[in-house]
Chain A
Amino acid sequence: MRGLLQIGPEHYLVLAALLFALGAIGVVLRRNALIVLMSIELMLNAVNLTFLTFSRFPLVKSAPTQAGFLSGHTAVFFVIAVAAAEAAVGLAIVIAVFRSRSSVNVDEFDTLKF
């Protein structure tokens, strides 16, 4: 019988899924571009959490190797780097848009249809 404190991969994965859904909802529903960017960060971090979960609890139990253990961490570092770059570019775009539109409301930016 497992106790309540017995934390398994399911807990991490459910948490990551919740975070990801929260982020996705934020991206779709929030109007402020800055909040949208933050929501994206939330989604990316949910993915990171998943990576780390599978790194810690590998699916193939028989041969846990150093390489398999590290590849999840490597992916996470990549994602963090990319997220940082994305945040920089995203914020720059938000500032540029704010300068021309004097607004950061995403629903006012509909020029994508042209």
Chain B
Amino acid sequence: MEVSWLYLIPLLPLFGAAVNGLLGRWLPKAWLYAVALLVVLLSFCIGLFAWSEVARLPAEAGQLRQIVYTWFSVGSLRVDLGLTFDRLSGTLVLVVTGVGFLIHLYSVGYMDEDPGYWRYFAYLNLFVSMMLLLVLSDNLVAMFVGWEGVGLCSYLLIGFWYDDDAKAYAGRKAFIVNRIGDFGFLIGIFVLYLYTGQVSFQALKVAPLSLGVASAAAGLLFVGATGKSAQLPLYVWLPDAMAGPTPVSALIHAATMVTAGVYMVARLSFLYVQAPGVMAVVAVIGVLTALIGAVIGTSQTDIKRVLAYSTVSQLGYMFVGVGVGAFAAGTAHLITHAFFKACLFLGSGAVIHGLKGEQDMARMGGLRRLGLKHTAATFFIATVAITGILPISGFFSKDEILAQALNTRAFDFLTAWDPASTSVPLLRPLLEALSRTRLTFFGPAVYLVGTVTALITSFYMWRCYLLTFEGEYRGPPEVHPHEAPWVMTLPLWVLAALSVVGALIVLPSRQLPFTWEHFTEGVFARPRGGAPLERLPELVAFGIALVVAWAGFAAAWSLYAPGRGLQGDERIARATPRLRRALASALYVDALYDRILVKPLWATARGLWRAADAMIIDGLLVNGSAQLVAAVGSALRRFQNGDVQRYAAVTAVGVLILVYVFLVRG
């Protein structure tokens, strides 16, 4: 259905960003807050209205569309700024604006004393606008604009306190790592355009693609997703991104922006099911990222870094979901994760706020009884949700992904592929080899690793909760922990409530009309391997998930039970000192990247600066041309000495020569 007001959804926050960014310095604080919050709330209300319209229509046709204008048109390429509000993007609009509004509200309390608050709210509004553009756009090019826009806001907000070198560096790191991914994304768009001449989802959906083209495009776009969504090997920027204000970590680096990669893969599900090999790569990268993120998370002492690695790990789960063809499960986890991870991050922000900037869990403890009642309670609920010891949102969404990974037949497609059907000769022997192997073990293997990761997840999250809120207070006595104001605790409670009732949309029953799977029927493409198997009865899978979650909880409790303080950490450090140190330094990945990538790049850049810039450009071209002019000038100066008689002599000689040439010889 065509509508004419869809553009308001991303435009309103953009308007807010313009007002706050250009005039914010001179606006009264209350007005600025009102503008920043109202535009997001209005977007949310419009989104809600649109969503109710879409929900009333049948699922496949259920979309509102608007072509705002033709952005550019060159030759056969025509790019519209088109928006599509369907069940997937519509729900994400609600998540972005809803969670976004709560975080804006929270920020009013969190950033109130910061002198740069107007800049902060301008960036935050801009971020919401760009994220909405990313989600709503109906073609890859407009999506790329949003994709880059959120990256820019991420950079601006990570380096928000730019006079701190480390924070400014973290911002640059995030931007550059993202650029590496974005490069892949851009090439992916080019590949699709080259072979189909189309960039809009609508047209790409029906465009015939060979296996090679689909795989190349899907793989390249996934490179973009690994950057934006912090997957191996480009996840390194996300833990450092915690340098930004905590509400930013909650909104951008947990709930919305980092899930853009998952959204992109789900949006392009029709492309990914045509490239089963890439889906296998997505699933494997996802599960490995989940595992590594969780393992590193066990040994971090900075509360925000624990949550950051947890985010990396949970994003890995989402990619497992979309990688095994369970697009609904992956995006459902995206939504529930947005609720509980935002809640966790905002809770950690309330803790940091209450402890005057303390982020080290070694100097926390016992905060539940020291007045941070609301924070502790909501953090507890969110921890339950992410670890899944009780069947609320996180339990179902994570378990659904793992069950689908176990049962998937997305990779059967690979083995069943007829090698003669590809037009790319190089792929043929590869496919022949693949058709002889059974890749079906991929699913169960992913399930196994994912389940181990769930155990570790439960362990590190309960460690985090117990170290922060239970036991004795270990901080300096002059810091008196205090509860955050209501503008901060209210969002916490709303998000905690959403973490609980979010379970409704991910209930395992396919019959209930309001479950996500049912709701998005027809939005996603189906993997070509066929319907999922039933390798394990559903109840058994749930049982295993519960046991695993409780096992993690038990392990955490045995080490970090109230009263034991930091003994648990010390015991682990004594038992496995080298592993512990390696994990605490994030497996030295940063050091490794530094050595093999950053340092050589710096050296190359320095070499180029010395050789190309200083010598050739500065020395030869710039100074050299000046010196040449000077040399010619000083030679010519001898002729122009101001002596009239020499001029006359030269003129006479010249005339003589002319006379000779024209009269005597001619």
> A: which residues have CB within 8 A of B?
24, 27-29, 36, 106-107, 109-114
Which residue on chain B has the smallest CB distance to residue A21? B652
Tally A-B pairs: CB < 8 A.
28
With a cutoff of 8 Å between Cβ atoms, the chain B residues found around residue A114 in the complex are 642
Contact partner of A113 (CB less than 8 A), chosen from B641, B648, B649, B652, is B641
With a cutoff of 8 Å between Cβ atoms, the chain A residues found around residue B648 in the complex are 27-28
Q: Within the assembled complex, what's the spacing in Å between the Cα atoms of A109 and B646?
A: 12
Beyond known contacts A110-B643, A114-B642: 16 more, CB 8 A cutoff: A28-B645, A28-B649, A28-B652, A29-B645, A36-B645, A106-B643, A107-B643, A107-B645, A109-B644, A110-B641, A111-B642, A112-B643, A112-B644, A113-B640, A113-B641, A113-B642
Shortest B642–chain A CB gap in Å is: 3
- Inter-chain contact B642/A112, CB cutoff 8 Å: yes
One digit per residue, 1 when the CB lies within 8 angstroms of any chain A CB and 0 when it does not, for chain B 635-659 equals 0000011111101110010000000
Interface size on B, residues (CB 8 A): 10
With a cutoff of 8 Å between Cβ atoms, the chain B residues found around residue A107 in the complex are 643, 645
- Inter-chain contact B645/A106, CB cutoff 8 Å: yes
- Inter-chain contact A106/B642, CB cutoff 8 Å: no
Q: Which 8 A-B pairs have the closest CB atoms?
A: A110-B642, A113-B642, A112-B642, A28-B649, A113-B640, A28-B645, A28-B648, A27-B648
Q: Within the assembled complex, what's the spacing in Å between the Cα atoms of A28 and B645?
A: 5
Which residue on chain B has the smallest CB distance to residue A113? B642
Q: Within the assembled complex, what's the spacing in Å between the Cα atoms of A27 and B647?
A: 11
With a cutoff of 8 Å between Cβ atoms, the chain B residues found around residue A110 in the complex are 641-643
One digit per residue, 1 when the CB lies within 8 angstroms of any chain A CB and 0 when it does not, for chain B 340-378 equals 000000000000000000000000000000000000000
- 28 A–B pairs (Cβ distance < 8 Å), ordered by A: A24-B652, A27-B645, A27-B648, A28-B645, A28-B648, A28-B649, A28-B652, A29-B645, A36-B645, A106-B643, A106-B644, A106-B645, A107-B643, A107-B645, A109-B642, A109-B644, A110-B641, A110-B642, A110-B643, A111-B642, A112-B642, A112-B643, A112-B644, A112-B647, A113-B640, A113-B641, A113-B642, A114-B642
Q: Within the assembled complex, what's the spacing in Å between the Cα atoms of A112 and B641?
A: 8
With a cutoff of 8 Å between Cβ atoms, the chain A residues found around residue B644 in the complex are 106, 109, 112
Which residue on chain B has the smallest CB distance to residue A31? B645
Q: Within the assembled complex, what's the spacing in Å between the Cα atoms of A110 and B645?
A: 10
Which residue on chain A has the smallest CB distance to residue B653? A28
Shortest A23–chain B CB gap in Å is: 11
With a cutoff of 8 Å between Cβ atoms, the chain A residues found around residue B649 in the complex are 28
Which residue on chain B has the smallest CB distance to residue A110? B642
Which residue on chain A has the smallest CB distance to residue B637? A113
Shortest A94–chain B CB gap in Å is: 12
With a cutoff of 8 Å between Cβ atoms, the chain A residues found around residue B647 in the complex are 112
With a cutoff of 8 Å between Cβ atoms, the chain A residues found around residue B642 in the complex are 109-114
With a cutoff of 8 Å between Cβ atoms, the chain A residues found around residue B641 in the complex are 110, 113
Shortest B655–chain A CB gap in Å is: 9
Q: Within the assembled complex, what's the spacing in Å between the Cα atoms of A28 and B647?
A: 9
